[in-house]
């Protein structure tokens, strides 16, 4: 029995952070033993709103790949490849663009939210507007059964399913409808209490951050603004420090005790932050150590990417051939 296929992706706009780990990397490490997993470094998608930073995006491809390997993604079990190196994805995108309207793309909830966040107003890059179609091409090219995403990305999977259904109805049933796989904790707030950790918002703890940097960021974290004195009762819900403890602390009893103490009053933010710092350093130290080893051998990283590209292209070529035959194209 063939393994089900999973496709996930990251945009190489910078090194990966704790939010990426909770949102996707942790899942990938756990799932790679049970599924045929493809992990795409989405450089073409990154260009849709970073066209002026193409060289930076190219440089970040290796950085992201190193982050993957440092976290435990095994290139023997997981195919890691670069989006721009698979030309079949762009060709599929062109065919799929005829199956969706501009109005539908403009009203995609995820696209609408990101347009607002990036303050594009009327200057929306065309590539950005159509990137849900590009994602549909990425997913269908590998006939992915499952796509691990955060709940904010569910509209993108819905868009893909719409395109797949329309293609299969008009031409021939050759594409697979993917299903979203939602992680238990798909989003990590930034250290400033913002809804999402992000390099752009400068509120992220990166997997490669040195110990002193992690310490500075943790001790500056947003907590409960009404918890002014140690003896005051504090709010745990929505408090980033406790959200991080829930995500990374293995000792649930200690976290539960701290939560109860904080709610009653008598537990200061500094003490909670110091405990969180120790938890994060225990988690990040082996990742950072492995990262430094991998950075010494860029040739090894390039070899892994090249092998992944070859395997990914073979898979995408087969799908494209089936698509073109269904459409009666040369």
What angle, 0 to 180 degrees and rounded to 10, lies between the N-to-C axes of helices 154-170 and 109-118?
130
Helix (H, G, I), strand (E, B) or coil at 8: strand
Cα gap 237→224, rounded to integer Å? 9
Q: How big is the chain, counted in residues?
A: 330
Q: Output the pTM of the full model.
A: 0.92
- Name all domains of the chain by residue range, CATH numbers in brackets: 5-188+298-326 (3.40.50.620), 211-292 (1.10.240.10)
Tokens of 273: 């932050």
Of 39, 13, 34, 36, the C-alpha closest to 24 is 39
Mind listing the pLDDT tens digit of every residue in the chain (330 residues)? 678 999 999 999 999 999 999 888 998 999 999 999 999 999 999 999 899 999 999 999 999 999 999 999 999 999 999 999 999 999 999 999 999 999 999 888 988 888 888 888 888 899 999 999 999 999 999 999 999 887 888 999 999 999 999 999 999 999 999 999 887 666 789 999 887 888 878 899 999 999 999 999 999 999 999 998 999 999 999 999 999 999 999 999 999 999 999 999 999 999 999 999 999 999 999 999 999 999 999 999 999 999 999 999 999 999 999 999 999 998
Q: Is the dihedral of CA 121, 124, 128, 129 positive or negative?
A: positive
DSSP string computed for 271-317: HHHHHHHHHHHHHHHHHHHHHHHHHT-HHHHHHHHHHHHHHHHHHHH
């Amino acid at each position: 029995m063939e393994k089900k296929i999973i496709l996930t992706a990251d945009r190489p706009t910078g090194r990966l952070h704790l939010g990426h780990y909770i949102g996707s990397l942790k899942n990938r490490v756990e799932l790679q033993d049970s599924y045929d997993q493809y992990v795409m470094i989405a450089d073409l998608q990154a260009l849709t709103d970073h066209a002026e930073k193409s060289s930076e995006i190219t440089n970040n491809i290796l950085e992201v790949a190193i982050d993957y390997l440092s976290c435990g993604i095994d290139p023997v079990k997981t195919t890691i490849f670069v989006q721009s190196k698979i030309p079949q994805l762009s060709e599929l995108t062109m065919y799929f663009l005829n199956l969706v309207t501009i109005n539908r793309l403009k009203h995609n909830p995820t696209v609408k939210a990101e347009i607002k966040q990036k303050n594009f107003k009327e200057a929306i890059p065309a590539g950005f507007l159509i990137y849900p179609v590009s994602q549909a091409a990425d997913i269908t090219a590998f006939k992915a059964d499952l796509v691990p995403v955060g709940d904010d990305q569910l509209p993108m999977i819905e868009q893909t399913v719409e395109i797949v259904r329309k293609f299969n109805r008009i031409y021939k049933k050759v594409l697979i409808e993917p299903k979203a796989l939602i992680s238990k904790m798909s989003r990590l707030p930034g250290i400033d209490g913002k809804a999402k950790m992000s390099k752009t918002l400068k509120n992220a703890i990166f997997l490669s951050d040195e110990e002193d940097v992690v310490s500075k960021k943790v001790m500056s974290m947003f907590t409960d603004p009404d918890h002014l004195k140690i003896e005051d009762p504090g709010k745990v819900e929505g408090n980033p420090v406790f959200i991080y403890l829930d995500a990374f602390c293995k000792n649930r009893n200690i976290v539960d005790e701290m939560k109860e103490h904080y709610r009653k009053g008598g537990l200061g933010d500094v003490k909670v932050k110091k405990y969180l710092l120790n938890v994060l350093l225990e988690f990040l130290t082996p990742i950072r150590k492995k990262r430094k080893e991998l950075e010494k051998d860029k040739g090894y990283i390039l070899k892994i990417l090249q092998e992944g590209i070859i395997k990914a292209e073979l898979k995408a070529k087969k799908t494209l051939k089936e698509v073109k035959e269904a459409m009666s194209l040369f």
